Amino acid sequence: MLIIVSTALSSLLYCADSAADVDQCCKDGLQEAESSGDVEMQAEFLYCGAIFCLISEKPVDKVIVIFKVCVSVYFV
């Protein structure tokens, strides 16, 4: 799963016009996954968002929170 998500994030970064586009895509994907009840996709978009935060040098505290939510969503 992590390889697929990393590939998806790489594609997002390559195709997006800006960092805001990647961020919005992650948010939209997460919202769609939540509305459909797809737990695996929720975890994948959270993971993509966390990795994107690391790449864009967001505060580590924010990244840790996103990873914790990702783990809690996927393993609950």
Structure confidence at residue 35 (pLDDT): 92
pLDDT tens-digit readout, 14-61:
655 666 777 888 888 889 888 998 888 888 888 888 888 888 888 888
CA gap 5, 41 in Å, rounded: 10
Q: How confident is the model at residue 2 (pLDDT cuts 50, 70, 90)?
A: very low
Show me where the domains of the chain are located. Answer: 2-74
- Which residue do the tokens 């393993």 mark? 75
**pTM of this structure:** 0.70
Sign of the C-alpha dihedral computed for residues 17, 22, 24 and 28 taken in this order = positive
